[in-house]
Amino acid sequence: MNISDYLDQVRSKYSSGQATGHSYRAASEGFLQSIDPDFEIINDPKRSEGGIPDFLFQRDGLAFGWCEAKDIDKLVIKLKGYSVEQRKKLCTTERKL
């Protein structure tokens, strides 16, 4: 999926007026998977020491990245404290690996 197709899908969901952050996950997963088909993308993975991200990226069973999705209308700046806390958890988890 190219970026234009992804944005079209997101715009379509958003224009319904009924979309939430979860509404965009199928489009997001499709777009992210198109970047590298060898990635394994887990939507809503199990809780780990780093918390519960919206997406977990792994290859050959080894996690190498996480992604958090938010509503389009969400003011991300207001999530700053949350993001810092999540970053600390993930950094601590990475050091243990």
Distance from C-alpha of 29 to C-alpha of 80, rounded to nearest angstrom: 24
Mean pLDDT of the chain: 81
Q: How far is CA 49 from CA 17, 24, 58, 73, 92, in A?
A: 35, 26, 16, 29, 8
Instruction: For residue 27, report the phi and psi dihedrals to the nearest 5 degrees.
Output: -65, -40
Taking only the tens place, the pLDDT of each residue in 39-73 is: 899 999 998 776 788 899 999 989 888 888 878 87
pLDDT reported for residue 93:
47
Neighbours of 31 (CB within 10 A): 18
48 neighbors 93 (Cβ within 8 angstroms): yes
Distance from C-alpha of 95 to C-alpha of 60, rounded to nearest angstrom: 20
